[in-house]
Structure formats: structure tokens, C-alpha cells
Amino acid sequence: MPLPALFLLFSFILGAVVGSFLNVCIYRIPAGLSIVSPRSRCPQCEAPIRWYQNIPILSWLVLRGRCGQCRAPISVRYPLVEFLTAVLFAFVLWMFGLQWATLVYWLMAAALIVITFIDLDHQIIPDVISLPGILVGFACSFAVPWVSWLDSLLGIVVGGGSLLLVAMGYEFLTKKEGMGGGDIKLLAMIGAFLGWQAVLPVIFVSSLAGTLVGIPLMIRQKADTRLALPFGPFLAFGALFYLFWGPEIIHWYLGLFAPNGG
């Protein structure tokens, strides 16, 4: 039964509000600052942002992307994160309906957004998100009917172990570090939320996406294969892709090899 549009609108608004908080996390966590206090301030003039200047998406549009006090430009990143979170929250609700799994995947999506933008900015994946995320993902397996606690536990082992083996193999062959420990912990977290069945599809999709993005960048920058690209955003994309469409695509793919196509 289709969800009422009011529910989807509520999830969109909720996602935008959460996205506003995620912006705080993205800015403060790498700097080692508290995400609770002080209240949000302009990074230029340090004037506190009033509540009516901090309405997700709308305030940025009304203020035309500038601080309400000093008129310094405000990055488009802020409404982008809010809009992205809002869309993902609404889409998760539309896909999974009113059940505990929706809350679980809202939580996972929020964590992946923070990780993505921190990795893009600093090329790090904070342990303060990924390590608790592993435990939370495992605990949430008891609220998701199609991911058992054993699937989640194996997802942690297979997810973290597979990338660890790849990193060790790459370092052995090239004598260079090719993948950071943050990516390994992130895939373990993804495995905790989605189960061991998701690990290989997530690696495949993220590697494919990384290749499609990396090759044009190497050509544009005239770089070689040593061009450093943060892999966290691609793992996050692969996880969300699997969450929304993975099982259906795998079922379709396996059906190609079944007798008579079925």
C-alpha cells in the first residue's frame, strides 16, 4: 500500500533537519571539536547563527548563500548536505515503509553522509563514526527481519577481512600502502548493517564507480595510477546502491544463468 504523501513530506523535513546537524559533524569532528556546543556560528565573523537563519535549505536560499551578519559567503555544501539527507530519508521510507528497518537505514545513511564528506575534505574516515557504527549495525540486525545477527557478524568479518587482505596484498606487491585502515573499518560497518551478502556487491559497485570517476580525473590532470582518490565516498555509494537495488539486481543476474531464464 503506497505511503501517504504526508509521511514522505515529514521524512523529507526530518532528513533536512538531520542534515543540518550532519553539517556540524562534518565540520567539527575532524577538528576535534564538540558537536554539541557551542551553538552554530559563522566561521568568518563568529557571530551566533539565529534560529531563523538556520532553517535547513530555506535559510541559505533566503540569505542568498551569505552570512546574515557579515555577508561572508556560505558554501553551497551546507544546503547540499541537507537536501541529500532529506532525499535519502524520504527514499528510505518510500522503499521500506513504516517499520524499524527504516530507522536503521536512516541511521546508516546519516553515518555514510558524514563519512563521505569528511573523507572528501580530509581523506580520513573517523574511527569515532566507523567503530561505533560496527557495534550499532550489529545491534540493529535484531530489528531488521532479513539481516540476522549471524549475517551481520559475518558481514563485519567478511567486510573488514576482505579489504584487509586486498590492502596487504597490494602493499606486498608494490611496497606501498594503497588502502587506509579507515576503508577497512567502513566496509566492516557496512557489512554489519547489510549482512555478509552485501560485501562483494558493494566492493564491485564502489570499485566500478571509482574507476569511472578516477580515469577521467587522471586524464584531465595528466596523472598516473598513483592519483589519490578517497575510497570512502565510493563505498558509501555502493552501500546505498545495494540497499535500494542490490538484491533485485543480483536476482536478475542469477536468473540469466538459470534454465529457461527462471
How high does pLDDT run on average in the chain?
A: 87
Q: Give the mean model confidence (pLDDT) for residues 84-102.
A: 95
107 CB burial (10 A radius; 0-12, 13-18, 19+) = middle
Picking from 129, 164, 140, the residue whose alpha carbon sits closest to that of residue 236 is: 129
* 197 contact partners, CB below 8 Å, separation of at least 6: 151, 155
Instruction: Provide the pLDDT for residue 1.
Output: 47
Asked whether the predicted pLDDT for residue 225 surpasses 70, the reply is: no
More confident residue, 230 or 193: 193
Asked whether the predicted pLDDT for residue 141 surpasses 90, the reply is: yes
Q: Give the mean model confidence (pLDDT) for residues 29-57.
A: 82
pTM for the model stands at 0.89
Instruction: Provide the pLDDT for residue 146.
Output: 92
Asked whether the predicted pLDDT for residue 3 surpasses 80, the reply is: no
Top-confidence range, 104-108, 177-181, 200-204: 104-108
More confident residue, 227 or 188: 188
Instruction: Provide the pLDDT for residue 113.
Output: 98
Q: Give the mean model confidence (pLDDT) for residues 154-163.
A: 90
The proportion of the chain whose per-residue pLDDT surpasses 70, expressed as a percent, equals 88
| CA distances, 111 to each of 15, 21, 98 (Å) | 13, 12, 21
76 CB burial (10 A radius; 0-12, 13-18, 19+) = exposed
pLDDT tens-digit profile of 69-80?
Answer: 788 888 899 999
Asked whether the predicted pLDDT for residue 194 surpasses 70, the reply is: yes
More confident residue, 75 or 240: 240
Asked whether the predicted pLDDT for residue 262 surpasses 60, the reply is: no
Q: Give the mean model confidence (pLDDT) for residues 132-139.
A: 96
Asked whether the predicted pLDDT for residue 103 surpasses 90, the reply is: yes
